[in-house]
Structure formats: structure tokens, C-alpha cells
Amino acid sequence: MKPKGKSTEILEKELKDYANLDGYFMENEEELAEDSLTAQLQSLLEARGMTRAQAVRESNLNEVYGYQILSGTRRPSRDKLLCFCFALKATVEETQSLLKRSSFAPLYARNRRDSIILFDLSHGRSLAEVNEDLYERGEPILE
């Protein structure tokens, strides 16, 4: 899930400088290749030594729905993906990468709800703890 060799800024500059898309794509094919969400989640499962059953259970999602997300047959909402991030004890960087690659807005520190989630992620807190913090501050919980 780590970025490839070139930074996003360099890719953006190159994109502007190319005369056509085909040349840009040909030159940067490896830079643009991304793992699927399913592959990224599987990689986190393996890195954490967790089973799919553990991740689904700790995400507090409906069991069938959780397995569908992990198998790639369902696309999760932003909140459901965040539930998996907490279940998998993902870092802030891993979470932001999963959100961005899933075409969701990354967590934004200027947003009250997102800042609570970011704080709890960065402090290694559980899904239950973040939901308690969200609830106590009048924000919608992750479910």
C-alpha cells in the first residue's frame, strides 16, 4: 500500500507536461497500478495476523456484509471502511491510503467528526472507544 517511486506532485507535473495521455500512461504504468481494496484489506489482515472472521467480528458489521466487503463483491461506504480500519488496527497512514484508493475523502483534521476519528486512530483506540467519543460529542457513530 506504500506509494510507488514518484510522488503524487511529480506525477501531476508530468501529467500536465505530456502532450497526450497515452504517453503518460505508458511511461507511468507501474506508478498507476493499484491494489484492489480486497487486496489491501487482505494485506492488512496478514500483517496483523488476523483471520477474516476476527476482522468481521471486530468491525461490528453484519457478518454477511463484512465477508462481501472482504471478498470484493460489495463496496463499503466510507464509514464501513473505517470500521474495518479500526478492526484491523490500521495506522492513520494506512487508513488514509485505503480511503483515497477507494475514492473516499481522506480524514480531514478541520472536520470535527473526522478529527475525533483521527485522534482515536493515532492513539490506537478501538472501534468501541471511537464510537463512545463520537457519541459523547454529538457526532454520528461509525456503523
| pLDDT, tens digit, 9 for 90 and up, residues 98-119 | 999 899 999 999 999 999 999 9
Report residue 46's pLDDT band, with 50, 70 and 90 as the boundaries: very high
pLDDT computed for residue 55 by the predictor:
96
Q: Which residues contact 63 (CB under 8 A, 6 or more apart)?
A: 56, 57
CA angle at 114 for the pair 100 and 5, rounded to the nearest 5°:
30
Residues 111/134, Cβ–Cβ less than 8 Å = no
H or E element, residue 66: helix 63-71
Statement: residue 47 has pLDDT above 80: yes
Better pLDDT: 31 or 86: 86
pLDDT computed for residue 11 by the predictor:
87
pLDDT computed for residue 4 by the predictor:
54
pLDDT computed for residue 7 by the predictor:
83
Report residue 33's pLDDT band, with 50, 70 and 90 as the boundaries: low
pLDDT computed for residue 111 by the predictor:
98
- How far is 117 from 108, CA to CA, in rounded Å? 9
Of the candidates 46, 43, 24, 45, the one whose C-alpha atom is nearest the C-alpha of residue 35 is 43
- How far is 36 from 19, CA to CA, in rounded Å? 29
Q: Which residues contact 42 (CB under 8 A, 6 or more apart)?
A: 70
Report residue 68's pLDDT band, with 50, 70 and 90 as the boundaries: very high
Q: What are phi and psi of 103, to 5 degrees?
A: 65, 30
Q: What mean pLDDT, rounded, does the chain reach? A: 92
CA angle at 116 for the pair 71 and 1, rounded to the nearest 5°:
40
pLDDT computed for residue 23 by the predictor:
87
